[in-house]
């Protein structure tokens, strides 16, 4: 992504935001312990806890049909900050493997990994990378991960580890000064894509079929022309997302219209649709996407500048991104990350510098449930939900 608040050819950074209390009442996801009944009850517990106390009973009742609020192990779930020991680092890259294991990446070439639920963190940063900005990370398990550094020219790089970060291999270094890579996604452990801002008038797509060990630039014949000033936002690793084995979506901003592009053939051909999120300025557009299947998706964004309002910061699609509808009650401000709650067809979280919002109706309405600053959010199927952001902040949903 291009810089926020600077000239188009610099690295965008979102302004710092205030911090939040150590633990905040923002619940979130469901465990995958069992099947529908167990998962449904757990999700109900999270939804109840995410609401303010006055609404907890109502949300729990709506979620599980009972007349009393639900808890997990007798406690209400909440975000709990985990001490990373890196207060000077902003973690915009996040990959939740499970409840115990997560990877984060950020400024100063930093990559951390936890295998004990965030009690301890291991600094597994690639050597010699202190000048890089790691804005996206995709982890397959506790040992294998791929991390993307963003920026113009050779600042855009990809590294892969197969031993938990003990060693890294640089698998891609951008040699085109016109390219600026923003985000990355994987369909499975072998197939993935990364995207660059437009080169010669079209977004550039990088492809791997060996788990990120090697990369190839795809032909751009199937890519629609970019609008003047259009680019991606490397704000939280969610400007390029996938669902299933072949579908992928790309979020844009910075132009007269915010748009979402969709490919159903792993990035070779694309269609494009306008998104009803603020545009018309380099600081505005769609910052993050999340799809729970190939049809149903969420888009969040707005204007990242703290002194600018974002009245239409969220939208939904039910047709794979062919059309988008604005949220009836969107988050109150710019949001840079979004994730569906596992095992739920209607609940999701959106995060940004001013707070976390919950939807329980598939994105039609949102309600602020926490005021802590986070840049991105990610959830694993086993109830492992994590968020990360400025000042070394990483949190996990706990109960």
173 sits in which H/E element: strand 169-173
- The residue whose two tokens read 């739920």 is 344
* CA–CA gap between residue 22 and residue 29 (Å, rounded): 19
- Please enumerate in sequence order all residues whose Cβ is within 8 A of that of 102, keeping only pairs 6 or more positions apart, or say none: 94, 95, 96, 113, 114, 118, 139, 378, 384, 386, 394, 396
**pLDDT (0 to 100) of residue 78:** 78
Pairing of strands 385-388, 376-379: antiparallel
**263-266 long-range contacts, Cβ below 8 Å, gap at least 24?**
263/222, 264/294, 264/320, 266/187, 266/191, 266/193, 266/207
Q: Which pair of structure tokens corresponds to residue 394?
A: 């990483």
Burial state string for 86-115 with b = 16 or more CB within 10 A and e = fewer than 16: beebbbbbbbbbbbbbbbbbbbebbbbbbb
**pLDDT (0 to 100) of residue 366:** 97
Selection from 272, 179, 287, 187 nearest residue 233 by Cα: 287
* CA–CA gap between residue 369 and residue 20 (Å, rounded): 12
Q: What average pLDDT values come out for the chain (399 residues) when binned by 10 residues?
A: 41 36 31 33 44 32 33 57 98 97 98 97 98 98 98 97 98 98 98 98 98 98 98 98 98 98 98 97 98 98 96 97 98 97 92 95 95 96 91 90
**pLDDT (0 to 100) of residue 77:** 56
Tell me, rounded to whole angstroms, the distance of Cα 141 from its chain centroid: 18
* CA–CA gap between residue 297 and residue 286 (Å, rounded): 13
The DSSP bridge partners found for residue 119 are none
**pLDDT (0 to 100) of residue 383:** 74
Pairing of strands 258-263, 271-275: antiparallel
* CA–CA gap between residue 59 and residue 40 (Å, rounded): 13
* CA–CA gap between residue 248 and residue 241 (Å, rounded): 6
Number of neighbouring beta carbons within 10 Å of residue 346: 18
**pLDDT (0 to 100) of residue 116:** 97
DSSP summary character for residue 222: B
- Residue 328 and residue 280 in contact, taking contact as beta carbons nearer than 8 Å: no
The DSSP bridge partners found for residue 300 are 288, 314
């Amino acid at each position: 992504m291009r810089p926020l608040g600077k000239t188009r050819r610099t690295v965008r950074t979102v302004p710092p935001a205030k911090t939040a209390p150590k633990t905040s009442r923002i619940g979130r996801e469901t465990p995958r312990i069992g099947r529908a009944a167990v998962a449904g009850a757990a999700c109900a517990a999270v939804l109840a806890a995410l609401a303010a106390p006055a609404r907890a009973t109502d949300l729990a009742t709506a979620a599980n049909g009972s007349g009393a609020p639900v808890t997990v192990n007798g406690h209400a779930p909440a975000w709990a900050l985990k001490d990373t020991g890196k207060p000077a680092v902003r973690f915009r890259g996040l990959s939740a493997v499970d409840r115990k294991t997560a990877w984060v990446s950020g400024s100063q070439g930093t990559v951390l990994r936890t295998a004990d639920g965030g009690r301890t963190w291991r600094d597994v940063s690639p050597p010699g990378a202190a000048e890089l900005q790691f804005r996206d990370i995709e982890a397959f398990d506790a040992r294998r991960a791929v991390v993307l550094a963003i920026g113009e020219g050779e600042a855009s790089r990809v590294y892969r580890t197969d031993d938990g970060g003990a060693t890294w291999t640089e698998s891609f270094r951008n040699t085109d000064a016109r390219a600026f890579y923003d985000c990355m996604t994987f369909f499975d452990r072998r197939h993935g894509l990364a995207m660059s801002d437009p080169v010669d008038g079209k977004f550039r797509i990088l492809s791997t079929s060996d788990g990120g060990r090697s990369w190839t630039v795809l032909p751009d014949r199937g890519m629609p022309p970019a609008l003047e000033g259009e680019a991606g936002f490397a704000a939280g690793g969610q400007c390029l997302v996938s669902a299933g084995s072949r579908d992928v979506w790309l979020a844009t901003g910075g132009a007269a219209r915010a748009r979402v592009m969709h490919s159903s053939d792993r990035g070779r051909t694309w269609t494009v649709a306008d998104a009803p999120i603020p545009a018309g300025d380099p600081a505005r557009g769609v910052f993050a996407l999340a799809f729970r299947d190939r049809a149903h998706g969420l888009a969040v964004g707005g204007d990242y500048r703290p002194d600018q309002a974002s009245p239409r910061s969220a939208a939904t699609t039910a047709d794979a991104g062919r059309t988008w509808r604005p949220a009836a009650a969107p988050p109150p401000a710019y949001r840079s990350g979004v994730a569906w709650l596992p095992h739920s067809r209607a609940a999701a979280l959106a995060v940004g510098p001013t707070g976390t919002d919950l939807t329980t109706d598939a994105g039609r309405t949102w309600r602020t449930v926490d005021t802590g600053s986070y840049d991105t959010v990610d959830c694993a199927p086993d109830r492992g939900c994590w968020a990360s952001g400025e000042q070394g902040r990483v949190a996990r949903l706990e109960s």
